[in-house]
Chains A and B, each alone.
Chain A
């Protein structure tokens, strides 16, 4: 069946870096846009970043622009999020999500990976 599985979460100190990965299976990965969305404890959904089907277009929330980088490897059905200079307020569950390319809604979500930024 179609699924997305995230990995790479954990505990990291403020100012440090972390790389999240998400592997897709059961669908034609290279045909879809991919997203990262986060949810802080007890809070709502926050869109973080989006990458087009071929990686040619990337979009970032203002709060992460210049610090986070989204990338994808269609040969490995993988999308990644490199997070630099992490802040305590970025403690959250990070979800990988898929959607049609160009129309960037999200029709399949992974279960998420938890990131805790704490000293």
Chain B
């Protein structure tokens, strides 16, 4: 099975910083990758699908890129409300597994 690896597992950044999270798959998955945000105590929320398509209603400071095996989620200017754990998920074929998550907080 394809493994999804996220890095870093956690990061701390200042408000206004540019934040980048990486997701790597052990085999190519084209652009069949989604990103989710889960705020503390809340339900996961879809941010991006097809590696770079922003879900409706998601702030434009979020962006995604990549194809094949390497993907990134970027927050262009970190805001206090972005404190959350972020997960990538592959959906090219089963199993539709998630990465281990990246916890983002404010320095």
Contacts and interface: CB of A to CB of B under 8 A. Distances in A.
Contact of A45 (B1, B44, B91): B44
A112 B95 contact: no
Contacts, number: 61
Interface residues of A, number: 22
Nearest to B43: A109
A105 B53 CA distance: 12
A61 B94 CA distance: 8
A119 B36 CA distance: 34
B71 interface: no
Size class of the B contact interface (CB-based, 8 Å): 20 to 34
A72 B95 CA distance: 19
A109 B98 CA distance: 15
Contact of A59 (B45, B50, B85, B95): B95
B96 A95 contact: no
B54 to A, nearest CB: 12
Interface of B: 1, 32, 34, 36, 38, 43-46, 49-50, 55, 85, 87, 89, 91, 94-101
